[in-house]
Chains A and B, each alone.
Chain A
Amino acid sequence: EPEVTQTPSHQVTQMGQEVILRCVPISNHLYFYWYRQILGQKVEFLVSFYNNEISEKSEIFDDQFSVERPDGSNFTLKIRSTKLEDSAMYFCASSVVPGAVDTQYFGPGTRLTVL
């Protein structure tokens, strides 16, 4: 069964450094998402992406964040200058089509630790 994959599984970085989290969505999916889950807190939406454009983003997704689909398979989340409060589990998801009815399928997550 096709799966969303994410690398690395755990990333440790120093405050102020740039990090890139990578995701490979399911191959026939066209919509891509990033969520994060700070330890002990709710899962929070960051951004959705379609046709090389951001289609929706939350207040969390400020200028420090960017997303890119650099080739036909990868979908990346870049944090330009990490802060301590960026420490969280970051989940990538994909879906076939947009709209509320479609199911989003999630990757295993990348645990980001900012020191």
Chain B
Amino acid sequence: AQSVAQPEDQVNVAEGNPLTVKCTYSVSGNPYLFWYVQYPNRGLQFLLKYITGDNLVKGSYGFEAEFNKSQTSFHLKKPSALVSDSALYFCAVRVDSNYQLIWGAGTKLIIKP
């Protein structure tokens, strides 16, 4: 079965420090990977995606993610965290034949001043 794992329920980072939010996946077929962010009382906002090509993709708000095929991972990163980055982050995957997104459980990111 296709699945996405976000092993950390919560990540705490001091403002100005680098952050990483982890995501691993298990699919049959070529994966297309996405990160979304959910702020309180808001919908799911698209951050970035990996389709093909360069393993390092850059997205909104200074975020980037690295696709690692051998480790089946797609970790979200940012070099210098802001307090405003505090939110719930979701990793999701699609495969060739499907329309649906398969979601991880989400990771709560807390950036402390």
Residues of A at the B interface (CB closer than 8 Å) are 4, 6, 31, 33, 35, 41-45, 48, 55-56, 58, 91, 93, 98-101, 103-109
Contacts and interface: CB of A to CB of B under 8 A. Distances in A.
Interface string B81-102: 0000000001010111011111
Given A91-B44, A101-B32, A107-B43, A43 B99 contact: no
A103 B34 CA distance: 8
B56 interface: no
Interface of B: 30, 32, 34, 36, 41-46, 49, 51, 90, 92, 94-96, 98-106
B4 to A, nearest CB: 9
Contact of A43 (B41, B44, B51): B44
Given A103-B34, A103-B46, A42 B105 contact: yes
Contacts of A55: 99
A56 B98 contact: yes
Identify the interface centre among B32, B92, B100, B101: most chain A CB within 10 Å of its CB: B100
A109 B99 contact: no
Nearest to A47: B100
Given A42-B104, A42-B105, A101-B51, A56 B43 contact: no
A55 B98 CA distance: 10
Identify the interface centre among A6, A43, A55, A109: most chain B CB within 10 Å of its CB: A43
Given A43-B90, A91-B43, A109-B43, A104 B101 contact: yes
A71 B47 CA distance: 31
Given A45-B101, A98-B99, A100-B96, 4 more contacts: A43-B101, A55-B99, A99-B99, A108-B43
A35 B104 CA distance: 14
